[in-house]
Chains A and B, each alone.
Chain A
Amino acid sequence: MPGWLDYVIIGAKAAFIWAFALSLLPVLIWFERKGAAFIQDRAGPNRAAIYGVRLAGIVHNISDVVKLLMKEMMIPPHVNRIYFMIAPVLGFTFILSAFAVIPWADRFLVGGRDISMQVADLNAGILFILAITSLNVYGIVLAGWSSNNKFALMGGLRSTAQMISYEVPLGMALVGIFMVFGSAQLNEIVRGQGDLLFGFLPRWGVFVQPLGAILFIVAAFAESNRNPFDLPEGESEIVAGYHVEYSGMRFALFYMGEYAAIVLSSAMITTLFFGGWQIPYFPTEKIVAHSATWLKVMLAGGAIGSFVFAAVMLAWSKRIRGRFGDRREGEGMFLFTLNIVAGAAFTFFLVKVLGLAALPEWGARTVALVAQISTFAVKTLFWCWVFIWVRWSLPRFRYDQLMRLGWKSMIPLSFLNIAITAVVLLLLDRR
């Protein structure tokens, strides 16, 4: 019988993964705007400010959210009211519930407890994500249908066809991973990626399943309706697709759903093909054994990073002095002070732990936990950036090209991948 502490732990884990996913959304919107601006060689949003502080456009997000919250949520007279109101909620809910099986660190042993860092350690974990994302299509379909608008309906139909088509190669690409790692449990798959291949290469999914990784990443792009597969909302052809009739926070829910889907896809790509929380060459037990060194290195890295960033900010604020004639010039000094404080804090803790030869068991485990969570976050953030990178570098497909790629290239290639994997595994006789 589970005690109250178990419920607290499960609640904390659910809160953590949702906080992780949701706090990445504003970061991603910022990434998208600044990334687009960078790729198109322009400045990007830089006007919204709170007392002159604009933090390279991050403040713009706040003004965006306020705008969306204040806007009227129009319900046009010709729509099917109930479905029109349910649709945005559905999509976002399903995406968020799929985060339940994403593991973000190795199991955490404390006080005789074995806490797996994953909300639900399902036996067929990865299939759960597939199931939930296959439900996600209903949000889009309902939005398109209930809007009672030809463009919206076209967008909904396109998205349905696209998601059904690309779910097949997505699932087939996973079969290779199941065969190599012998499990569908996400944490087991990540643990299997901790070994070394030929003594130097980490046994990541991308190295043992290169074709599968490419197929999976392409299909994941299509599943999250991102460019080059953003036909459902192709604004040059069907205005904005399924969310034409939406405004205010309901529109924002679609938008947030899209970014949450990016985070989910990135987390999946990281977990399955890029080692998840595994730090290459340093399995958990090794980190725990050398935890004092790890802690010192991490603190020293934090201190050095903060000081370097502070120095850069100082130089920058000197360079722009007198250029604008408003509070914008104070921004450099503000960030400089912030980083000096952070660096000082890191140094203080570093001096405190410098004398320690070994940490207590819980301390060592916590160090490993923090290191692994950071690794997972960095990898996920990198893949989020790739999503944005691709969006602003590639043109959109034509619809028949999209279908041809899905059915005539990717599905045969995924079958080929399964066959090759089976033959190689049989030759190596690993199973």
Chain B
Amino acid sequence: MDAILFYILAFFAVLGGLLMVGLKNPLSGAFALILSLCSLAGLFAMLHAEFVFILQILVYAGAIMVLIIFTIMLLNLKKEEIEEAPVGWMRLLLTATVCAAAAFGAIQIFGDVQPVTSQVPPEFGNMETVGRSMLSSFVYPFEVISLILLVAIVGVVLLAKKVI
């Protein structure tokens, strides 16, 4: 049961990623990315990391992707405006070789790693655990990130506002 679910979700995660790169229509690409993100969220849910699962959907699939789609829709590219880059067979061959080599290497390295499910503690990815670790062991990175975000917000306001 778990294995079947895992393979379905993993299949869609990979499929979404491939489609995002492959599809010509930018909006289709964005939706493929959403598919990938949601499947990834499902994988988190399978690890009983409910909070991470919800955040994945809420923040990535919900908020960030909405902004990306908003931009795509506002630009509203026509088909003829998307430049068609010619893809030569040499380039294809090179890409295929590199991908195959990477896949082979990955299998060599991670081939005998055991499944992680049994090693995850039951409270992994809970709201309490995430919150506690954010305010205790990871308090400095947390504060630095919030400072960076604040700077980004102020910067956006400055850039968007022409005259102050």
Q: How far is the CA of A137 from the CA of B27 in the complex (A)?
A: 15
Of B27, B50, B62, B126, which contacts A145 at CB under 8 A? B27
Number of A residues whose C-beta is below 8 Å from B? 25
Chain A residue contacts of B34, Cβ below 8 A: 138
Of A127, A144, A156, A184, which contacts B58 at CB under 8 A? A127
Chain B residue contacts of A153, Cβ below 8 A: 73, 76
In the complex, the answer to whether A135 meets B73 with C-beta atoms within 8 Å is no
The closest CB in chain A to the CB of B58 belongs to A131
Q: Mark B42-78, 1 if CB is under 8 A from A, else 0.
A: 0000000011001101100111001101100110100
**Does A381 count as interface, using CB distance less than 8 angstroms?**
no
Chain A residue contacts of B58, Cβ below 8 A: 127, 130-131, 134
In the complex, the answer to whether B57 meets A134 with C-beta atoms within 8 Å is yes
In the complex, the answer to whether A141 meets B69 with C-beta atoms within 8 Å is yes
Minimum C-beta distance from A220 to chain B (A):
17
Chain A residue contacts of B100, Cβ below 8 A: none
Q: Which of A145-162 contact B (CB under 8 A)?
A: 145, 153, 156-157, 160-161
In the complex, the answer to whether B61 meets A135 with C-beta atoms within 8 Å is yes
Q: How far is the CA of A124 from the CA of B63 in the complex (A)?
A: 18
**Does A132 count as interface, using CB distance less than 8 angstroms?**
yes
**Does B127 count as interface, using CB distance less than 8 angstroms?**
yes
A137-B66, A145-B27, A184-B127 known; A156+B73 contact, CB < 8 A: yes
Q: Which of A226-258 contact B (CB under 8 A)?
A: none
In the complex, the answer to whether A157 meets B70 with C-beta atoms within 8 Å is yes
The closest CB in chain A to the CB of B67 belongs to A164
In the complex, the answer to whether B73 meets A134 with C-beta atoms within 8 Å is no
Q: How far is the CA of A157 from the CA of B72 in the complex (A)?
A: 11
In the complex, the answer to whether A135 meets B57 with C-beta atoms within 8 Å is yes
The closest CB in chain B to the CB of A163 belongs to B66
**Does A122 count as interface, using CB distance less than 8 angstroms?**
yes
Number of B residues whose C-beta is below 8 Å from A? 21
In the complex, the answer to whether A123 meets B57 with C-beta atoms within 8 Å is no
Chain B residue contacts of A184, Cβ below 8 A: 127
Chain B residue contacts of A123, Cβ below 8 A: 50-51, 126-127
Of B66, B69, B76, B126, which contacts A134 at CB under 8 A? B66
In the complex, the answer to whether A141 meets B73 with C-beta atoms within 8 Å is yes
**Does A128 count as interface, using CB distance less than 8 angstroms?**
yes
Q: Mark B74-103, 1 if CB is under 8 A from A, else 0.
A: 101000000000000000000000000000
A138-B34, A157-B74 known; A131+B57 contact, CB < 8 A: yes
In the complex, the answer to whether A124 meets B69 with C-beta atoms within 8 Å is no
The closest CB in chain A to the CB of B128 belongs to A123
Minimum C-beta distance from B158 to chain A (A):
17
Of A131, A144, A156, which contacts B54 at CB under 8 A? A131
Q: How far is the CA of A122 from the CA of B69 in the complex (A)?
A: 29
Q: How far is the CA of A156 from the CA of B62 in the complex (A)?
A: 15
Q: What are 21 of the A-B contact pairs (CB < 8 Å)?
A: A83-B27, A123-B50, A124-B51, A124-B54, A124-B126, A124-B127, A131-B55, A131-B57, A131-B62, A134-B57, A134-B62, A135-B57, A141-B66, A141-B69, A153-B76, A160-B66, A161-B70, A164-B63, A164-B66, A164-B67, A184-B127
